[in-house]
């Protein structure tokens, strides 16, 4: 089995900005994440779009072995951390077969973010398979 935590820690919230992980903005809960934002982020002059990543593993489900939630958030000039009307979200899954074929890499997270940024996916689907993004 692939060690997901060696790539990006599961069961933790991670923030990416301009396709880079902000290491200080990683926390086990949304409340602690908001506190980290207040501690480590200087108030921006204009609102900044960031991406919140959360990875869950499902060892007993061969069709959804890994589930990645990617939500676009806005950090406001007063360090508010919120979802605005123009922000989006997708949930991406890996099956057993997809994990064997593609593995799990940080580049996958970056492709998921790019897919969300460019809105190049079907909003009507609840889950998207990683094959649709990497394929």
Name the residue range of residue 116's domain: 4-134
What pLDDT does residue 127 have?
86
What pLDDT does residue 123 have?
64
Contacts of 42 (CB under 8 A, 6+ apart): none
What pLDDT does residue 36 have?
95
Pairing of strands 128-129, 89-94: parallel
Give the chain's count of helices (H) and strands (E): 4, 7
Task: Retrieve residue 133's tokens.
Answer: 């993004």
Question: What is the distance between the alpha carbons of residues 112 and 97, in angstroms, rounded to a whole number?
Answer: 19
Domain count, the chain: 1
What pLDDT does residue 1 have?
56
What pLDDT does residue 2 have?
73
What pLDDT does residue 120 have?
72
Low-confidence ranges of the chain (pLDDT < 50): none
Question: What is the distance between the alpha carbons of residues 72 and 97, in angstroms, rounded to a whole number?
Answer: 28
pTM, full prediction: 0.92
């Amino acid at each position: 089995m692939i060690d997901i935590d060696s790539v990006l820690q599961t069961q933790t919230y991670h923030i990416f900005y301009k396709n880079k992980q902000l290491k200080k903005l990683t926390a086990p809960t949304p409340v602690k994440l908001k506190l980290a934002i207040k501690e480590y982020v200087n108030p921006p002059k204009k609102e900044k779009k960031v991406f919140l990543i959360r990875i869950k593993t499902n060892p007993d489900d061969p069709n959804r072995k890994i589930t990645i939630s990617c939500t676009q958030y806005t950090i406001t000039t007063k360090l508010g951390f919120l979802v605005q009307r123009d922000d989006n979200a997708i949930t991406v899954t890996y099956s057993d077969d997809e994990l064997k074929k593609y593995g799990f890499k940080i580049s996958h997270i970056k492709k998921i973010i790019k897919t969300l940024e460019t809105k190049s996916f079907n909003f009507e689907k609840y889950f998207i398979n990683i094959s649709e993004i990497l394929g």
